[in-house]
Amino acid sequence: MKTIDELLAEGVSGKRVFVRADLNVPLDGTTITDDGRIRAVVPTVKALADAGARVVVASHLGRPKGAPDPAFSLAPAAARLGELLGADVAFATDTVGESATATVAGLADGQVAVIENLRFNAGETSKDDAERGAFADQLAALADVYVGDGFGAVHRKHASVFDLPARLPHAAGYLIATEVGVLKKLTEDVRRPYVVALGGAKVSDKLGVIDHLLEKADRILIGGGMAYTFLKAQGHEVGISLLQEDQIPAVLDYLKRAKERGVEFVLPVDVLVSAEFPDLKTKAPAHPATVAADAIPADEEGLDIGPETRKLYASKLADAGTVFWNGPMGVFEHPDYAEGTKAVAQALVDSPAFTVVGGGDSAAAVRILGFDEKAFGHISTGGGASLEYLEGKTLPGLAALED
């Protein structure tokens, strides 16, 4: 895989360099609520611009249905990128049409443009190779060189991620190089004990990574909505908590295999419960109750790990050599249910281990809850991509960058 430093050494001045970034940031209307993914691509864009390249940045945002939708415009992301670069960033109002063609043609050496949301074109996400390839051909006409730096999208077989690199000389940007280097530390050169903390809503989202980590981890901590399927599998009442009953056989198999392999599987011992889901807009007080994990009332739902579980999980993380954390421990967006996620984050900060926050909601939680990002070994920009890498899957966007 060619690195961006090798590309820069060859010279990019005057060349149109297509950077597939991940600007898929959360928006409240047109206001960006977490710009972490934009900041992550700045080093690559700046290095190319400083070397005289004409930089064309492209990304998706959200899940528009293959047609323009103002709610998913990249305009706010383009404006924020300009602020972070300290330079004007041109914006094309389409992907491969007149605006994109004119905007790219108008770039001078060292200037940067962002084209509109790639998913406004159905060819980006098409499962038909010919349709996807045709869109990749149109994108290739905008550039001379391709740089892949959208780690959050490398697990997608999309036109700009998989097909376009085959049509242009290509290299990996700084972000992808960093992410892959970190993930190798979690799979090839692990300092032990290796502790994995998994949360989030659904067990089904984590089945593959749990299956794979049973072969590698020393200890697995479970929280978030997925914990209630584990508790149900053990025969406990979980009330109206989030539950995937169809996953109980898989969960029982994991618990059995963990015991056979000597992998410590740690589940909540107490939880915060309520009969109502909290109002995440007004943040009105929720007044949760704390109950033992095996005593959830039938008409209430678990929404965070409890104080004893927080202490337990902190102790299980304290002696780690390596920690991978993916998924919040509760509904962290509401202050009454944020303490579990905050406790795990603080335990990572306090730990001498190599700590990796695995993207997605857990990365957002770290920033929203006010933690210094530099206190962690690495905060990934791609939750799904990180998980699939740890499952041992081949990621299309990384395979496409291999020579």
Q: Which residues are catalytic?
A: 37, 202, 360, 384
Distance CA 68, CA 114 (A): 16
Q: Quote the distance between the C-alpha of residue 313 and its chain's center.
A: 23
Contact 344, 329 (CB under 8 A): yes
Closest CA to 288 of 304, 268, 267, 264: 304
Closest CA to 124 of 150, 88, 87: 150
Q: Per-residue DSSP letters for 382-403?
A: -HHHHHHHHTTPPPHHHHTT--
Q: How far is CA 156 from CA 37, 202, 397, in A?
A: 17, 20, 7
Residue matched to tokens 């001379």? 144
Q: Where would I find the beta strands (DSSP E) of 100-200?
A: 112-114, 145-148, 170-172, 194-198
Distance CA 89, CA 170 (A): 23
Closest CA to 56 of 100, 2, 12, 94: 100
The letter for the amino acid at 272 is: L
The letter for the amino acid at 345 is: A
Cα atoms found within 13 Å of the Cα of residue 163, Cβ hemisphere only: 22
Contact 299, 275 (CB under 8 A): yes
- Count H helices and E strands in the chain, helices first: 14, 17
Tokens representing residue 76 in the block: 């706010």
